Structure 1
Amino acid sequence: MASEKHAVADAETHPSSSNEKVQTPAHLETEDAHFAAERGHAATDQYGHALVHFDPKAEAKLRRKIDLYIVPTVALLYLFCFIDRANIGNARLAGFETDLDLKGYDYNFLLSVFYISYIIFEIPSNVACKFFGPGWYIPTISLGFGACSIATAFVNTKEQAAGVRFVLGMFEAGMLPGIAYYLSRWYRRSELTFRLAMYIIMAPLAGAFGGLLASAILTLDKFGTLTSWRMIFAIEGIITVGLSLISFVTLTDRPATAKWLTQEERDLAIARVKSERVGQTKVLDGIDKKKLWLGIMSPVTLSTSFIFLLNNITVQGLAFFAPTIVAGIYPEKTTVMKQLFTVPPYIVGGFFTLMVPFLATHFDRRQIFIILSCPLTIVGYIIFLATSENTARYAACFLVAASCFSLGAITNSQVSANVISDTARSSAIGLNVMFGNIGGLISTWSFLPSDKPDYHIGNGLNAATNSVIFLTAIGVYFWMVRDNKKREGRSVEEELAGLSAEEVEDLDWKHPAFRWNL
């Protein structure tokens, strides 16, 4: 069938001298997109070259439409996912520890309980997301963690709080990898990084907005029978539940079921994603254990996941302890003012969380931006270690926030770009986020009560982890370049000879025509 497509393309380039009518390019593009979208037809040749070329204007129009219908919903859900996870830091300043009689390392224990379930359910949750479909699964887990936030408002003991935090981790486990996997159904490799950033930006914005929202809530005398920190959990949880119910209606599962697209737009949406998947005859394949394993064992998946583990020690540590760090810098300020002081660094972080992935998308390069993200973070933590001067340490918060959050988008798009099948993509993203959350678990013990107010252990740990990220990312970059050169010498015809279409699909990143995407 692929040869038939080449024949059609050749007929367009070299019209026959017969009286047969030659089709217009626009008509060809419509037919080609429909052909490539059909299940069972490959959209690339055996060398990985796309068989179909698309009208850039039609693609741009489609992207804008997808951006409008898809991104706002997932961004809002992730905003409150992060708020419902990190609002315990705001509650801490409002009497959470005192009312629950938490002592010593009890607060760190509660943070750890969340990450235990978060890590355990990471990959299973993303496989479940593929099995049930993101259009239903993501709203369902959002409803679950919204309910958990509300439940936290009614806990009275450490044990009750630990139980709710464990369940919260179960529901939130599928959110970050689920949305990343979901967006990979809609966007090309080069487009994905910036779209991931458009919802991952909600992590730093959650720090800013969460601080503002917590400050506003604490100005209330009471909310029903609830007062103080309990109002934070209840009100933010109710907002999350409302958004999740709306998302059951607004979140479309995949291009083929999008009623807001015309048939031609559905064909184009499917075909253009498929055109980057060498050896694949369908965009949404069935769950395959071999492909799941290949997604996990890709060298780029493993190395990038290690990088995200180290990065998340910084990101999650900042989320949970930013109010505590600010309280140490400005101990004389009121509780509301301490909350407000956490906002500006997150706003700066939000700007760079969009700008860096935008540049990565523009240049279709990710590894180099992982490398470039490290120096500012390292300098920020060196400042924390080197001085006790308040202004300098507060300025260091801006340096850290400006450079650490963008790796959430870049690492997930990097593992997505370096596997082929939909199944491998779900497990690769799941592993990346699982490793990231191991870093989150480590972060819960990085800022200890015995180390305050300067937190030399926590700041030293973060300076070290970002230095390791820097060196690892450089090493992986040169390995990818070298391995791509080795792959140039492989014979595609010889290695694929005698293999069935199914066996070719199962090769995934081991396909001889595949190249690592830098």
Structure 2
Amino acid sequence: MSAHEKESVEQHESTVEANHGGVGRSSEPQFDPVAEAKLRRKLDLFLVPGVALMYLFSFIDRTNIGNARLAGFEEDLGLSGNDYNMVLSVFYVAYAVCEMPSVLLCKYIGPAWFLPLTTLAFGAVTIGTAFCETRAQIIACRFLLGVFEAGMMPGVAYYFSRWYRHAELSFRLGMYMIMTPTAGAFGGLLASGILSLDHFGSLKSWRMIFAIEGIISSGLAIIMLIIMTDTPATARWLTAEEKELAVARVISERPAQTEVVDKMNWAKIKVGLSNPVTIVSAFLFFCSNVSVLGISFFMPTIVRTIYPGKTRVQQQLLTVPPYVVGAFCLITASYLATRLNRRQIFLISTAPAVMAGYAMLLGTTNANVRYAAVFLTASTSYFPGSLCNGQVSANTVSDTARSVGISLNVFCGYLGGLIATWTYLPWDGPLYPIGNGLNLAVSGALGLAAMGGLGWMKFDNKKRDQVTPAERLELLAGLTEKQTSELDWKHPDFRWQP
């Protein structure tokens, strides 16, 4: 952020503080609902589409290897046995190692720089994948892809938390997380279209998939580098009144905070990482990603085992409908979570349909029933992608705590992704009882943990409600303004938002 932009941020935040008296006071500022609605529409128009497209192509570039597998990827590179699973795994090793540093870098340099630059980098790596000739080369490319994609998902969730109120965030996160199942559907259609070409330059077959999709990602990154902005206070497309309102709205929900973007320190990092709701949400996201990323990487393989007599293009196209159902269910759940300002109940609802789907895959060999089961597993399994990040954002206070909380959530989620790469092994096919059984188990664990988290939040809120004004003053006695702002979820005025 330039010196001029920093001055602008400070000016607007000081204006908000003067007009509204900060946060953590006894009365929360009231905002004009008409002005808020107009501002939300403007934020949605300028923020969501471009960010959603970047995330769409990050997921396509990550999972297009499943489509390439149907087009001779393994044979051309001499992969055999568990080599394909190893190639998938190395991505998540890099992702796990680089995810936390990536989010801190995102906060340090600003999302408007970080997100487009990392998109440009993973687009370039995807193009490079098209020219791989050996197993070592494809492993190197997948490792680099993990390095550059590590900050994308948590970076977007963190970026949106700078602009939207808690109740608004779930739907906006859903609007970009819908790109996860959309990537599966669109990626299958795009791969089918690309494979219908004779060649792309000197490239043929699966190599065209990586080259064309990588070029699209890189072009999108350059456009977003030009048009993105970091904070409401520096948005040229907002009026002075809209900037003040945008900053005030976000600060109003953060006890003892007087700024949207704070300075990092270890106290806020530690309180962000120790947040109980963040820890539970991270476990839920871990369980969810075992299923979600298993579906994303192995959907073409599963469909091929269900309908082995179909042509390659027909198999690609059959992967599309389950993703469409998943996208519809995700956006519906995210919309309802925003309208009700409740997320945990929808996280609980993730488990039953997914469990039923995997139980059907375990219990029958009928092709049509197994294909129907894939729809069930895809229907609700994507919910935690938006809701867990929304839950972390709603239950952290400072910008720093929020950034590391989202980072921890996504880190644990992609440890689940690492497990997912080994759930469907060649010798376990064609029915894959081990892979389907594992997914059934983690779906059940997700449901139980989500119910436990909801019960604990309600219990702890009741305890906080019983704190008297005198006890509150005693808890805050002797603390400086800085120390009070670092309490985060430990502040007596804080309440969990289920």
Displacement of 1:35 after TM fit?
6.3
**Mapped contact 1:75–1:198 kept (Cα < 8 A):** yes
Matched, 1:344 2:344: no
What per-residue deviation string (whole Å, max 9, x for no partner) do you get for residues 138-158 of structure 1?
000000000010000000000
Matched, 1:414 2:391: yes
Q: Which residue of the partner structure matches residue 265 of structure 2?
A: 288
Instruction: After TM superposition, list the pairs within 5 Å mapping 1:101-180 onto structure 2.
Output: 101-180=78-157
Matched, 1:501 2:481: yes
Matched, 1:192 2:169: yes
After superposition, the CA RMSD in angstroms is 1.3
What per-residue deviation string (whole Å, max 9, x for no partner) do you get for residues 123-144 of structure 1?
1111110000000000000000
Counterpart among 93, 99, 106 of residue 76 in structure 2: 99
**Mapped contact 2:13–2:258 kept (Cα < 8 A):** no
Matched, 1:326 2:342: no
How many angstroms apart in 1 are the aligned matches of 2:19 and 2:304?
A: 60
What per-residue deviation string (whole Å, max 9, x for no partner) do you get for residues 192-226 of structure 1?
00000000000100000000000000000000000
Gaps of 5+ in 2: 1-11
Counterpart among 278, 282, 289 of residue 312 in structure 1: 289
* SS of alignment partner, residue 121 of structure 1: helix
Displacement of 1:498 after TM fit?
2.0
How many angstroms apart in 1 are the aligned matches of 2:199 and 2:321?
A: 28
Displacement of 1:191 after TM fit?
0.3
Q: Which residue of the partner structure matches residue 37 of structure 1?
A: 16
Cα gap change, 1:40 to 1:449, in 2 (>3 Å): farther
Q: Which residue of the partner structure matches residue 258 of structure 1?
A: 235
Gaps of 5+ in 1: 1-32
How many angstroms apart in 1 are the aligned matches of 2:15 and 2:427?
A: 61
How many angstroms apart in 2 are the aligned matches of 1:242 and 1:483?
A: 48
**Mapped contact 1:46–1:492 kept (Cα < 8 A):** no
Q: Which residue of the partner structure matches residue 400 of structure 1?
A: 377
AA aligned to 1:37 is V
How many angstroms apart in 1 are the aligned matches of 2:210 and 2:37?
A: 41
Instruction: After TM superposition, list the pairs within 5 Å mapping 1:220-235 onto structure 2.
Output: 220-235=197-212
Larger radius of gyration: 1
AA aligned to 2:427 is S
Counterpart among 125, 142, 160 of residue 183 in structure 1: 160
**Mapped contact 2:121–2:148 kept (Cα < 8 A):** yes
How many angstroms apart in 2 are the aligned matches of 1:174 and 1:415?
A: 16
AA aligned to 1:510 is K
How many angstroms apart in 2 are the aligned matches of 1:36 and 1:419?
A: 24
Cα gap change, 1:476 to 1:336, in 2 (>3 Å): same
* SS of alignment partner, residue 512 of structure 1: coil
Q: Percent identity?
A: 55
Matched, 1:514 2:494: yes
How many angstroms apart in 1 are the aligned matches of 2:306 and 2:274?
A: 44
**Mapped contact 1:321–1:447 kept (Cα < 8 A):** yes
Instruction: After TM superposition, list the pairs within 5 Å mapping 1:447-458 onto structure 2.
Output: 447-458=424-435
AA aligned to 1:480 is M
How many angstroms apart in 2 are the aligned matches of 1:42 and 1:462?
A: 50
* SS of alignment partner, residue 349 of structure 1: helix
Cα gap change, 1:35 to 1:335, in 2 (>3 Å): same
TM-score using structure 1 length: 0.92
After TM superposition, the structure 1 stretch with the greater mean CA deviation from structure 2, 247-256 or 316-325, is 247-256
